[in-house]
Structure formats: structure tokens, C-alpha cells
Amino acid sequence: MKKFFLGLALSGLLAFNASATQITDSFVGGTISAGTDFTATLNQFLSVPGLPALAPGEVYVLNWWQLSIETEAISEIARAENLSSNPAVISANVNVGALFNGTDTGNPNAPAAGSFGGNANLAFGPFNATASDGNLDFLGTSGVTFTPPSITSSVGSGSSAQIFNLTGVVGPGTFNVFIDASDLSAFSAGGSVLQQLQTNQRTTVRVLYDFDVRCEDQGLCGGGNNNVPEPTSMALMGIGLVGLGFFGRRLRK
């Protein structure tokens, strides 16, 4: 019983300090030709819409930030026609990627986030084409149209680690990150095969900020340099204090 109440007391007091909040800002790219590099502009922390209002004497304290990338492959055209007199096995693989390589084109003071990103894939086939049927229509027994327009892959994603170097991201203002795009889409077919493959991609870049709201002016908000307690935190601290009091009384007995 003593161990139980001591554990309850300590857990309540430790939980009192866990009041960090998170907020995100996003760059949602449009549909572009696969493999086209681009620059994403994101808000620095103090410029992110939706930050909670500060009471007199309170300040924001940014703890860490994190970048993430999601990219999506869009197959606009994926079709082939066997032109030879021999059968052919036709398949296609759509593979697009988006990579952040640590280069910050808009704010040279912002730290690199390492190299990370994601790839999105679409696989079609195999299609067993007969010898040419004499029609260049990407249909019939010797031709194939794998998808109607704008068939989309699942999203490929990747994130940086939590970044504790806050130089260049506190703000207010914006910062840019340069995204290297890739397109490794290709057909696989034997013989003489006419191939048409057009691929686009959409990429979203997000920044997540982890922060606290603290009271810096004791005369205005009475918190000194401590975190501003939330109702849940106050309840947990109360449980912790009650547990310590009970434990102390048991020891005296």
C-alpha cells in the first residue's frame, strides 16, 4: 500500500509538468509533372494561424519542431501497344518521390533537418499481349490501357526527427524548404512495344511545432517561470499532494 500511494504521488506531480501543445502549418502543392523540383513556403512558429492568445504576463516557449512530407503519384496516361509479330508481356510501374535534402533556400539560418522523404507507387499488369492485331488503339488483344485518367496511388510519407535547434524558425515570418522530386516510372515489356506514360504528383509539406505557454511576470499572472497549469494538471498535482500526505502519515504511525 505504501508503494502504491508513493507511486501515485510521484506520477501526479510528474504529470503536472506535461502541458506542451502542438500546432502545424502546411504547404499543399498543386498537381505538377512528376520529377519537377519545387520550393515549399511555411510559416515560422509565431506566424502560424491559430496560436492560442496570451494572457498578460504569458509568453510562448518553443520546444522543438519537425518537418514531414507526403507525396502522391497520379497516373494520367499508362498504355501500350504490341507492334511485333510475337506475343509480349507488358507491365508498368509508376514511382514518384519527394525528398528534403536539408537545403533551406529562403532562410539560411534555419537548421537542416537531415535527408528524408517519401515515394508513392502504382503497379500495373502484367498484360499478356498477343502479336499485333493491326490496330494502334491500345486496346484489343495486343494493346492495353491500364488506367483511366487520374488514378492515384497511396501516399508515400516521411518525417524528420524532432529538431531542437530553433534558429530561424521562431519568427515571425516564413521559411522555405527545397524539395527534390523524382520520377522513376517505366514500362517493362519485351519485343517492339509502343509505350505512353504520363505521370503527375502532388506533395504536401508540413511543419509541426511543440511549445508551452508560460507565465513570466509573477505580478501579472502569478506563475513566475513555471508552466501555466491547466485544469487537468491541477487535478493531477492535487492527487499527487494528497498521496504524499497520506504516505507521510502512514510513516509517522
Q: State the Cα–Cα distance between residues 97 and 118, nearest whole angstrom.
A: 6
Tell me the DSSP string of 38-77.
Answer: EEEEEE-GGG-TTPPPPPTTEEEEEEEEEEEEEEEEEEEE
Q: Which string of b and e fits 116-142 if b means at least 16 CB within 10 Å?
A: bbbbbebebbebebeebeeeeebeeeb
The domain spans of the chain are 1-19+229-253, 20-222
Cis omega (within 30 of 0) for bond into 172: yes
At residue 141, the pLDDT reads 95
At residue 19, the pLDDT reads 58
Q: State the Cα–Cα distance between residues 95 and 119, nearest whole angstrom.
A: 7
Q: What is the pLDDT of residues 85-137, one digit of tens each?
A: 999 999 998 899 998 877 554 566 666 777 888 888 888 889 999 999 999 99
pLDDT of residue 232 exceeding 50: no
Q: What is the pLDDT of residues 211-226, one digit of tens each?
A: 999 998 888 886 444 4
pLDDT band at 64 (very low <50, low <70, confident <90, very high): very high
Three-point CA angle 230, 20, 25, nearest 5°: 125
- Candidates 149, 204, 182, 193; CA nearest to 33 is 182
At residue 243, the pLDDT reads 46
Q: Which residues contact 72 (CB under 8 A, 6 or more apart)?
A: 96, 120, 152, 153, 155, 156, 201, 202, 203
At residue 238, the pLDDT reads 46
Q: State the Cα–Cα distance between residues 86 and 190, nearest whole angstrom.
A: 9
* Strand, coil or helix: 240: helix
Find out whether 69 and 179 touch, Cβ atoms under 8 Å: yes
At residue 10, the pLDDT reads 31
pLDDT band at 150 (very low <50, low <70, confident <90, very high): low
pLDDT of residue 203 exceeding 70: yes
Q: What percent of the chain has pLDDT over 90?
A: 47
At residue 113, the pLDDT reads 73
Q: What is the pLDDT of residues 15-43, one digit of tens each?
A: 334 458 999 999 999 999 999 999 999 99
Find out whether 217 and 55 touch, Cβ atoms under 8 Å: no
pLDDT of residue 67 exceeding 80: yes
**Which of 2-16, 124-138, 165-179, 239-253 is least confident?**
2-16
